[in-house]
Amino acid sequence: MVDVRPGLYYYDPVRHGLVPLRPDVGRAELEHLTSHQCFFDAAQGFSMTATVLGLGTAVTGAIRDSDTDDLLRLLQPGEFTTFAMACGRPRLGQAGRHAASRAVTGT
């Protein structure tokens, strides 16, 4: 992001902008809190690449951690799942709309 200083921010959807919460928190502390994982960069790059390829994307932290760790054969306790990313072509319904839009609109 251009012209955004390091720190903690809150996204205000009414103003469609960032509100500084803790401008005193620096990059080193933020990296420590996330165990030096650049997952936001990874998720952003993943989503942008998928979009360029014409794919839909989803990123979620709502996963079954233990089951996912077992499936991936992660070495505990040093490796663990924090979130999941997926991409693909959305399944279209009868009217050519995404299946999710049918569920929301009831059609």
What confidence score (pLDDT) does residue 57 get? 86
CA distance 46 to 74: 22
**Residue 66: closest CA among 54, 55, 56, 80:** 80
What confidence score (pLDDT) does residue 102 get? 41
Across the chain, which distance is largest between two alpha carbons, in Å? 53
C-alpha torsion sign, points 19, 24, 26, 32: negative
**pTM (global) more than 0.75:** no
**pLDDT, tens digit, 9 for 90 and up, residues 22-76:** 888 887 887 777 666 666 777 888 888 888 888 888 888 888 888 988 988 888 8
DSSP type of residue 81:
-
Mapping DSSP to helix (H, G, I), strand (E, B) and coil, where does residue 56 land? strand
